Amino acid sequence: MKVVPYERIETAPVTTEGSAGCRIRCLIGPDDGAPSFTMRQFEIAPGGNTPKHAHAYEHEVFVLEGAGTVLEAAGEYPVQAGTVVFVAPQEVHQFRNTGAGPLRFLCLIPHPLRGMLGSCVVACGCE
């Protein structure tokens, strides 16, 4: 069993093209023996955003802190602490921080990604 405060897990910059002001923590992943999916936490600085992209795997998101928006092809929606977001495979999506503080959210992905890598972001067993 792994029991750890998230703050103790190191962060890394997200260097994917189109991202700005994003850092990632791999909270639970293949290095822990997780067999099916990976729990990541993103922190976006005020004014920052994740890339606008789509890929073959889903995201399951829970917003922990801050205020922002999530974009899909049909429009843009506000998100804040407690917002649940499901991004289906192949859906265009982008998160933006529109608040004054950090926008922090969990974003889980399946693994192994079985040839679905595409624009998969850094670390967390994606490579």
Q: Least distance from C-beta 121 to its own copies, angstroms?
A: 17
* Binding footprint of its own copies on the chain (CB under 8 A): 1-7, 9, 27-28, 32-37, 39, 57-58, 60, 62, 64, 70, 72, 74, 77, 79, 82-89, 91, 93, 106, 108, 110
Output the six-digit token pair for 34.
């997780």
Could you give the 3-state DSSP secondary structure of residue 39? strand
Q: Least distance from C-beta 94 to its own copies, angstroms?
A: 11
Q: Cβ closer to its own copies: 28 or 45?
A: 28
Neighbours of 13 (CB within 10 A): 11
Q: Least distance from C-beta 44 to its own copies, angstroms?
A: 17
- DSSP code at position 107: E
- Tell me how far apart the alpha carbons of residues 101 and 124 are, in angstroms, rounded to a whole number: 25
Q: Cβ closer to its own copies: 47 or 81?
A: 81
Name every residue whose Cβ is closer than 8 Å to that of residue 98 and which is 6 or more positions away in sequence.
67, 68, 69
Q: Least distance from C-beta 109 to its own copies, angstroms?
A: 9
